[in-house]
């Protein structure tokens, strides 16, 4: 093996690899070279020179183009390669192992054979880039090392922004290094984008700890350390009694300089990013968190150091912090937005007049251009992205890279519904919160026709797409985790999308900052809450003071009563929907059905006493 690598690598690259003193690394690289047959190999260390080489290589290869602002570049994925390929993202399982009917799985031997056939000779005209990263702060007991092999400069550059380089960590770990492995090839390129989309594959071998990805460039399919690694981490966490979650971590600033940390899970378009980036608070991460029991208390870290965010609707009014970052110098990559001859990027909802022509993911673009199906092509793709470092944000928390993590005292589950859940509510306890907030999470899609209620999509913990263990086991992981914590985090739910009978939102966008302030005070027992059949809600007097203090806004009693009204028919229907879903899934912990039944009985009793729609003031004692 060493002789093979010595023959295939330039001396400098061979020495970088051999100095790690890890046979598993050398075997993985050697196997990848034999399979993909790259024209050359570059082994990237942690040095600024090596990391800049990757960036410059991506630009020279045409995967990225420089923009006018210093450090900014733009990348385009293929027209039909703009999102995660759920159908072709599959788990490879050995015979006899099953995850359940909800999972997209393939027999391991068959899947490995197929994807290797596709990867064969895929890098003949390309450079193989070998990169070393850490999921989490360097030197942290939370962190997991990762080895990424790719022929895409864009993927390698993106990961350098998103993750902490860890070549030196691999060297320190030596033969004892445990790491996830990722092999990616963009495949044959046409116009610098993947050509053979029909052969796009994203296969996750959770038993061997390898992810194969090919014939795709979109970050969600190729940036191995993101959701592909999350699936690996969930499987690892299930064996080691911790949680790998699709959650932000943020600090909410309370009285006298106090900072209280929350993690939060929200499905897409439910307010996750905007919550994590609230102006007066501090952000540690916007997407993925590891949570562990450290001496009886929950601590969390952000596995990333950057953001792979959606550009759409980022504007100076609604998202001033990230907008400032995207319009200031720094290492920033845009993907699938439009740029003009002046080198300026444009995206949907950015708060500016958009140009009538430029270059976007469809090539040369002019207003009115249509695709092959006759649909008008927008100025920027709705899933257009940006990659930037969290440290660029003016509200980046100073503990972002703290190996010890931060204490997590609150967990938030945020859904989207127009007529059920109140804006903010505290669960009765850990078990109740896991089941009625996290495991019952729903997101309402856009209505198919005007006035029709949106379709509600079930998404437990906002992690359904990324589970690598059976749903029943995942639920039990959460229940067991809380039982072993001396004082578990308080679990809350939020809903920013309640509407009145005319379809008008009952809250403004910045009202979410008040719900965060109230939750922070609740954790420290500095405000009293009202007990309802589904949890604890704020008292009017406390919200009135918070709105005045933090938003200089008058919050009326009428607004409070309408927003926090108990909508019993809809709550009972939701209870029944969730129960029906879990009855179709095997090995669900019995306590889930028991907890849902107890909540239904409380709702029925309250309905018999007070009616179907109840003012929160009825519950004031």
Please give the Cα distance from 231 to 245 (Å, whole number). Answer: 10
Q: How confident is the model at residue 450 (pLDDT cuts 50, 70, 90)?
A: very low
3-class SS string, 343-369 = CCEECCCCCCCCCCEEEECCEEEECCC
Please give the Cα distance from 613 to 423 (Å, whole number). Answer: 16
Q: According to CATH, what is the number of the domain 244-306+400-619?
A: 3.90.228.20
Domain boundaries, the chain: 2-63+85-240, 244-306+400-619
Beta strand pairing call for 535-538 and 179-185: unpaired
Span 323-338, average pLDDT: 97
3-class SS string, 84-104 = CCCCCEEEEECCCCCCCCCCC
Angle, CA of 561, 566 and 570, to the nearest 5°: 135
CA atoms in the 13 A half-sphere facing the CB of 553: 15
Q: How confident is the model at residue 582 (pLDDT cuts 50, 70, 90)?
A: very high
Q: Mark out the alpha helices in 223-372 (DSSP H runs).
A: 227-240, 272-276, 320-326
What integer pLDDT is reported at residue 6 of this predicted model? Answer: 85
Write the pLDDT tens digit of every residue in 191-223.
999 999 999 999 999 888 899 999 999 999 999
Contact assessment for residue 206 and residue 441, using Cβ atoms and an 8 Å cutoff: no
Q: Is residue 313 packed enough to be buried (19+ CB in 10 Å), middle (13-18) or exposed (0-12)?
A: middle
Contact assessment for residue 39 and residue 118, using Cβ atoms and an 8 Å cutoff: no
Contact assessment for residue 283 and residue 250, using Cβ atoms and an 8 Å cutoff: yes
Write the pLDDT tens digit of every residue in 20-63.
999 999 999 999 999 999 999 999 999 999 999 999 999 999 99
Please give the CATH superfamily to which domain 2-63+85-240 belongs.
Answer: Phosphoenolpyruvate Carboxykinase, domain 1 (3.40.449.10)
Write the pLDDT tens digit of every residue in 262-275.
999 999 888 898 99
Helix, strand, or coil here: 228? Answer: helix
Q: How confident is the model at residue 452 (pLDDT cuts 50, 70, 90)?
A: very low
| pLDDT at residue 449 greater than cutoff 80 | no
Write the pLDDT tens digit of every residue in 147-180.
999 999 999 999 999 999 999 999 999 988 999 9
Helix, strand, or coil here: 263? Answer: strand
Helix, strand, or coil here: 49? Answer: helix
| pLDDT at residue 621 greater than cutoff 80 | no
Q: What is the mean pLDDT of the chain?
A: 94
Helix, strand, or coil here: 75? Answer: strand
Percentage with pLDDT > 70 across the chain: 99
Write the pLDDT tens digit of every residue in 402-447.
999 999 999 999 999 999 999 999 999 999 999 999 999 999 874 3
Please give the Cα distance from 204 to 72 (Å, whole number). Answer: 32
| pLDDT at residue 309 greater than cutoff 50 | yes
Nearest to 461 by CA among 245, 252, 256: 245
Beta strand pairing call for 490-495 and 406-415: parallel
Name the residues annotated as catalytic. 270
Percentage with pLDDT > 90 across the chain: 89
| pLDDT at residue 454 greater than cutoff 70 | no
| pLDDT at residue 462 greater than cutoff 70 | yes
| pLDDT at residue 453 greater than cutoff 80 | no
Q: To which residue do tokens 């690694």 refer?
A: 229
Angle, CA of 252, 254 and 258, to the nearest 5°: 95
Write the pLDDT tens digit of every residue in 497-517.
999 989 899 999 899 999 999
Q: How confident is the model at residue 324 (pLDDT cuts 50, 70, 90)?
A: very high
Contact assessment for residue 156 and residue 150, using Cβ atoms and an 8 Å cutoff: yes
- Fold equal for 2-63+85-240 and 244-306+400-619: no
Q: How confident is the model at residue 448 (pLDDT cuts 50, 70, 90)?
A: very low
């Amino acid at each position: 093996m060493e002789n093979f690598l010595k023959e295939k690598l330039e001396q400098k690259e061979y020495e970088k690899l051999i100095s790690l003193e890890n046979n598993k690394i050398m075997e993985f690289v050697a196997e990848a070279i034999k399979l993909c047959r790259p024209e050359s190999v570059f082994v990237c260390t942690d040095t600024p020179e090596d990391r800049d080489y990757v960036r410059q290589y991506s630009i020279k290869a045409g995967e990225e183009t420089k923009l006018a602002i210093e450090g900014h570049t733009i990348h385009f994925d293929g027209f039909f390669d703009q999102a995660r390929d759920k159908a072709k993202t599959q788990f490879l399982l050995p015979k006899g192992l099953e995850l359940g009917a909800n999972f997209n799985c393939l027999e391991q031997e068959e899947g490995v054979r197929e994807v290797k056939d596709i990867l064969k000779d895929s890098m003949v005209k390309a450079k193989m880039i070998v990169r070393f990263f850490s999921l989490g702060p360097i030197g942290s007991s939370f962190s997991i090392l990762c080895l990424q092999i790719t022929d895409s400069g864009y993927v390698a550059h993106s990961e350098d922004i998103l993750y902490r380089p860890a070549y030196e960590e691999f060297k320190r770990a030596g033969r004892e290094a445990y790491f996830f492995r990722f092999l990616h090839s963009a495949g044959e390129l046409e116009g610098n984008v993947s050509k053979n989309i029909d052969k796009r594959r994203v296969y996750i071998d959770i038993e061997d700890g390898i992810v194969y990805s090919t014939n795709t460039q979109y970050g969600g399919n190729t940036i191995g350390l993101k959701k592909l690694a999350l699936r690996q981490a969930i499987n690892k966490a299930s064996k080691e009694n911790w949680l790998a979650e699709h959650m932000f971590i943020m600090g909410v600033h309370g009285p006298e300089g106090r900072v209280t940390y929350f993690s939060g899970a929200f499905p897409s378009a439910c307010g996750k990013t905007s919550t994590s980036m609230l102006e007066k608070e501090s952000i540690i991460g916007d997407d993925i968190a590891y949570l562990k029991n450290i001496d009886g208390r929950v601590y969390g870290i952000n596995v990333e150091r950057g953001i792979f965010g959606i550009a759409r609707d980022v504007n100076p009014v609604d998202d001033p912090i990230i907008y400032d970052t995207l319009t200031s110098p720094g290492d920033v990559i845009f993907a699938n937005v439009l740029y003009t001859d002046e080198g300026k990027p444009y995206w949907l909802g950015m708060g500016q007049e958009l140009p009538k022509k430029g270059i976007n993911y469809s090539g040369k673009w002019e207003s009115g251009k249509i695709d092959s199906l006759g649909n008008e092509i927008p100025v920027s793709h709705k899933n257009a992205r940006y990659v930037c470092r969290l440290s660029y944000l003016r509200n980046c928390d100073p503990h972002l890279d703290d190996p010890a993590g931060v204490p997590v005292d609150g967990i938030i589950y945020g859904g989207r519904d127009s007529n059920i859940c109140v804006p903010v509510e505290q669960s009765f306890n850990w078990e109740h919160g896991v089941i009625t907030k996290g495991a019952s999470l729903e997101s309402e899609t856009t209505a198919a026709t005007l006035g029709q209620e949106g379709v509600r999509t079930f998404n437990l913990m906002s992690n359904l797409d990324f589970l690598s263990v059976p749903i029943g086991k995942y639920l039990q992981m959460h229940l067991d985790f809380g039982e072993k914590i001396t004082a578990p985090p308080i679990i809350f739910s939020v809903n920013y999308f309640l509407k009145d009978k005319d379809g008008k939102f009952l809250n403004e966008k910045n009202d979410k900052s008040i719900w965060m302030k109230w939750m922070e005070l609740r954790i420290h027992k500095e405000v009293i809450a009202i007990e309802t059949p589904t949890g604890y809600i704020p008292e009017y007097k406390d919200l009135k003071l918070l709105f005045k203090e933090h938003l200089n806004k008058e919050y009326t009693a009428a607004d409070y009563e309408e927003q926090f009204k108990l909508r019993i028919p809809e709550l009972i229907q939701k209870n029944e929907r969730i129960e029906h879903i879990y009855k179709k899934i095997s090995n669900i912990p019995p306590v889930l059905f028991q907890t849902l039944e107890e909540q239904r009985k409380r709702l029925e009793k309250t309905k018999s006493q007070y009616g179907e729609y109840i003012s929160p003031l009825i519950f004031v004692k």
